[in-house]
Chains A and B, each alone.
Chain A
Amino acid sequence: MAKKNTKEDYYLASQWVLMGRKLKKHKLAKLSIIILLILYLGAFFGNFLAPYSLDDMDGLYKDADPTQIHLFHEGKFVGPFVYKIEKVRDFKTFTVTIQENTSEYYKIRLFAKGSSYKFLGFIPCDIHLFGVTEGSNGSPATAKVMLFGGDYYGKDIFSRVLLGSQVSLTIPFASAFISLFLGIAIGAVSGYFGGVLDMIIQRIIEVIGAVPQIPLWMALSASIPPGISTIKMYFYMTLVLSFINWTGMARIVRGKFLSLKNEDYVMAARLAGVSTWKIIWKHLVPGFMSYLIVSVTLGIPGSIVGETSMSYLGLGIKSPATSWGVLLQEASTTTQVALHPNKLIPIIFVTITVLAFNFLGDGLRDAADPYK
């Protein structure tokens, strides 16, 4: 009886429900969704989660190692706290060493007050998820907690990773949507109308596909005028990335159109007097939307790597705006990396994101045809 029910269930379920069910069976894809959700939530609440803003800098913490978090002060449990660091010069060798000043401790508190920001972009707020409070002897909260250490300007790398993800994770997403739209529109024209237009579009797609991606991206992003506002920079970067990615989408759409446009239901719609655009958007596009979503998902990792590489080279997002690529600029020389391996931490985030999107794409690809 139960078996019959599931069978009935299967026949009654919509395509998307079936896809969801199949995706749930793909363990890596499920894990990837969770990871991506965490990453995107981190980006969304970045200002709140990051203990410091992009403007908070402290010369003392220049190239600092990750701050050690202690629990016991002089043998007594006081909960998580940090010591302030200080520079000590050895008068024999004149080298500067950085050590912790253990005379006073600074407790780490949840929902601590910090620099002000706009929560969700419009609510003025100065509460951060965690932060350092005043010292045990009453001195002001000058000690810092830098989970991933400090960068060259004494900014907190952890905060910058979080705030940078707001750019690094959303630009590829935005550009994926632009290329999705462009791909559908151009692919539809190419596939539905055919003829000379189709031939020209196909040639253009072929050519853009032949030009090596990163050199072309480099050339395009190098022409983003310098000294423009962060928002404009972001917008241009998105456009640059979508400039290439739509071609893959358009190719899929065209192929699908060619195979679907002679189907009976399209003919029926045409005979019933449905307009061309309505046929395209209502009857044809939903038929292969799942394939497009797969293609979008699999295209995102490339954009992430693209944005990161561009910004790393100084051609994309530029300081003071931050992205993972900008963060990695500091890890560009061997000596920097050798002295401060913690500056490589953004690589972990890039890699995890790219892997997650790849696995999710694989899972979606398997699920895209749920009737198999």
Chain B
Amino acid sequence: MEENANKIDDMHENDPKETNGKSTPSRIFGQVREFFKKDLVSYITKRILMFIPTLFLISVLVFFVIQLPPGDYVSSEIARLTTEGELVTQADADALREQYGLDQPVIVQYFKWIGDIIWTPTDSQYYRLNHSHHNWKYSFKFSKNVWDVINERLATTVIFTAVIMLFQYLVSIPIAIYSSTHQYSVGDYTASVIGFLGTAIPNFCLAIILMYLSYKWTGNSNTGLFTPEMKVNGVHLYNFGELCKRMIIPLIVLGTSGTCGIIRSVRAQMLDEVGRQYTLTARAKGVSERKIIMKYCFRAAINPTVSGLGGILSSLFSGSTVTAIVLDLELQGPQLFEALKAQDMYLAGAIVMVQAVLVVIGILFSDIALALLDPRIRYSGGGR
């Protein structure tokens, strides 16, 4: 922290002050160049370096979760073998434990687990069978390698989440701007009430209600993202309409829950900014209302929302998990649920880990976006 403070002092000497009103193209160019030369690069490097200990801690947390349930990998394997009618002796069990390294201390087990995920050597059995250097262990529930199970739905989950997030921003930001510029109007109240209800009704309850309404009105409960036909032929232009139809319920469920948070935060910030001196000055100087709102207030008001991107992403994964289970969407949620019901902890842990890593990447992006958006951030060494 102190090193950082020194760095800040150094930087202030060639601080490109941008409050001087008019900015000529060359000036802007100079600013941008300056920005990329020093601050942003060092800032991003610092952020990426901080990414590593975070990943490490996430993996520790996930391993803790994997270790939690009573019994281990081998006891569930033995249970499976016994139900299949095979005779398992104590010696077999011990041999299995030794093979999987379960007789070793937890710390050794952790490093073996994470080591295999990072790099499985070429001469290992796993590599010979799967030609992959990343051994995420085996999923009993799906009788496949954990990574293969995750991979099935990873792309869908990421695209789905991105679409919902885009939807949230596109819907909530205009509403927030409207609400703040028309404070205490009918529209403002309507937006607040809907937003509040959206957060108050648990996602899965709303999903059930909408499923019921959809069943009542159309005779079809519209569960799942893909039709059986889509699963075979893939999504093309001709069946894209059907996919959109099936996206409606998830969009409403997850859209309303997240938008409310964004609306509230942007609205509150906007109201703060609108009341500031600089807004008054701009207005007194005859700057158009539109320009005041969009160029000054909004730019300042959007900051917390951008920095909250990680949190939004996290709550989106959270919400979509239960929603996906209720609506039977082809996302990671149902996989996680199945894995947990079967105590298939390596798969469950891996799914939690993948989601957490995605969130951390989201945080990384948001920090970079914030540094681009708000030049003050790069001096204070991260606003979060």
Considering the complex, which residues of chain B in the window 328-378 have a beta carbon less than 8 Å from any beta carbon of chain A?
333, 336-337, 340-341, 343, 345, 348-349, 351-352, 355-356, 359-360, 363
B212 touching A216, Cβ below 8 Å: no
CB contact between A315 and one of B340, B351, B356 (< 8 Å): that residue: B340
In the complex, how many angstroms separate the beta carbon of A345 from the nearest chain B beta carbon?
11
Query: How long is the Cα–Cα vector from A338 to B57 in the complex, in angstroms?
Result: 46
A212 touching B202, Cβ below 8 Å: no
In the complex, how many angstroms separate the beta carbon of A219 from the nearest chain B beta carbon?
5
B57 touching A203, Cβ below 8 Å: yes
Chain B residues contacting A213 (CB-CB under 8 Å) are 314-315, 318
The answer, yes or no, to whether A96 is at the interface (CB within 8 Å) is no
CB contact between A337 and one of B203, B211, B314 (< 8 Å): that residue: B211
- Interface residue stretch chosen among A7-15, A289-297, A327-335: A327-335
Known: A207-B54, A219-B348, A315-B340. A354 touches B200 (CB 8 A): yes
In this complex, the member of B204, B221, B326 whose beta carbon has the largest number of chain A beta carbons within 10 angstroms is B204
A358 touching B199, Cβ below 8 Å: yes
Chain A residues contacting B199 (CB-CB under 8 Å) are 301, 354, 358
CB closest chain-B residue, reference A355 = B200
- Interface residue stretch chosen among B4-12, B22-30, B64-72, B232-240: B64-72
Considering the complex, which residues of chain A in the window 269-312 have a beta carbon less than 8 Å from any beta carbon of chain B?
301, 305, 308-309, 312
A312 touching B61, Cβ below 8 Å: no
B208 touching A344, Cβ below 8 Å: yes
Query: How long is the Cα–Cα vector from A367 to B337 in the complex, in angstroms?
Result: 41
A218 touching B336, Cβ below 8 Å: yes
Classify the secondary structure of B's interface with A.
helix
Chain A residues contacting B352 (CB-CB under 8 Å) are 211-212, 215-216, 219
Chain B residues contacting A216 (CB-CB under 8 Å) are 65, 352
Chain B residues contacting A347 (CB-CB under 8 Å) are 201-202, 205, 208-209
With contacts A219-B349, A355-B197 known, what are 13 further pairs, Cβ within 8 A? Answer: A206-B54, A209-B314, A212-B315, A214-B318, A214-B319, A219-B336, A222-B343, A308-B202, A313-B325, A328-B208, A331-B208, A334-B212, A358-B199
B residues near A (Cβ < 8 Å) are 53-54, 57-58, 61, 65, 68-70, 196-197, 199-205, 208-209, 211-212, 215-216, 221, 223, 310-311, 314-315, 317-319, 321-322, 325-326, 333, 336-337, 340-341, 343, 345, 348-349, 351-352, 355-356, 359-360, 363
| A-B pairs with lowest CB-CB distance, top 3 | A212-B317, A223-B68, A222-B340
A residues near B (Cβ < 8 Å) are 203-204, 206-216, 218-220, 222-223, 225, 301, 305, 308-309, 312-315, 328, 331-332, 334, 337-338, 341, 344, 347, 350-351, 354-355, 358
User: Could you list some 6 contacts between A and B, CB below 8 A?
Assistant: A203-B53, A218-B336, A219-B65, A223-B70, A337-B211, A344-B205
